[in-house]
Amino acid sequence: MTHSERRSSWYREGGIALGTGILYGATNAIVGHPMDTVKAKMQAQAGFMGADAGMLGVIRKVWRTEGFLGFFRGVVPPLMGSSVYRSLQFAVFEAVYTRQTELGWDKALVPGTGGLAFSTVLAGVCGSSCRAVIESPIEYAKVKRQTGQTWHVGEAYQGFLMQLPRTVGMMTCIFCGVDTVRRWTNGEALKHPVYQFCTWGGISMVSFWVIWPLETLKNQVQAGTKIEGFEKPTVRQRISHMGGLTGLYRGILPGSISVCMRNGTAAVVMGFANRKITELGLR
């Protein structure tokens, strides 16, 4: 479903996705990291108040105090990790999705969705769950570095209870959304680079909006953000401290830009790789 090429066996599709997923993950990390850094600082780091609190204020402060490289602080863990967990995510998704198609399970449709198959949903949940297990320690290290802190191996799964529903919810929405656009356009949305960018970038951004409160809470927990008067603040106390639901959407502008650019660009790279693999007769 992540491409419009002729499909081979489920295990071959899984293997191919493992390779193209590495390209997707590396591109995703490099393109999106600057704005992701701005988002993480807005959500989790103290010291950004007044004129420095908004997106432009954070950008100015990072540029003034850390320079250009400050926007890429903490990029090494996600660059290495993104290539791993995103390749695993696509490999598991493609293997599970293709195998279900081989068994004829893709004929069972979710009522009221206009043709969305249960097989797409199941493949999305399987792929994103595998991703969350590997992604959580990497996200923890990244957020710690972005907020100028030292990370510790013993705390690697700090925030996992936020990471799991955040990742599964976001990626399952993306997979189902892309599949819907693919069906509506008879596969054309996954063929042309411009359509690929708009489809993956736009759907990823909307899916991120859905799980955004979990992203904010995840970053706070992983960064160890303190709340005065509470040694170990609960989720309810964090939400109250942030000013309710609207406060949880802090950093949504730079985050949306990051998600759209990184996923749109990475999809174009992955689409190109899939076409070349087919041309070379490897499918």
Q: Which residue has the tokens 């993306």?
A: 174
Extents of the domains making up the chain: 10-277
- Whole-structure pTM value: 0.81
207: pLDDT strictly greater than 80: yes
**Percent of the chain clearing pLDDT 90 (strictly above):** 45
Lowest mean pLDDT segment, chosen from 50-59, 101-110, 133-142: 50-59
Q: For residue 156, how far is the Cα from the chain centroid? A: 19
7: pLDDT strictly greater than 90: no
User: Taking a C-beta distance cutoff of 8 angstroms, is the pair 88, 138 a contact?
Assistant: no
Per-residue pLDDT at 48: 46
Per-residue pLDDT at 52: 53
Lowest mean pLDDT segment, chosen from 30-44, 127-141, 152-166, 205-219: 30-44
Per-residue pLDDT at 165: 95
CA-based torsion, 80, 84, 87, 93: positive or negative: negative
Per-residue pLDDT at 69: 84
28: pLDDT strictly greater than 70: yes
For residues 231-242, one letter each, b for 16 or more C-beta atoms within 10 angstroms of the residue's C-beta and e for the rest, the string is: eebeeeebbebb
Lowest mean pLDDT segment, chosen from 75-84, 146-155, 237-246, 265-274: 237-246
pLDDT digits (tens, 9 = 90+) for 46-72: 554 454 557 888 888 888 888 888 888
Distances (CA, A) of 195 to 34, 48, 117, 185, 203: 24, 38, 23, 10, 12
The CATH superfamily assigned to 10-277 is Mitochondrial carrier domain (1.50.40.10)
192: pLDDT strictly greater than 80: yes
If one compares 44 and 63, the residue with the highest pLDDT of the two is: 63
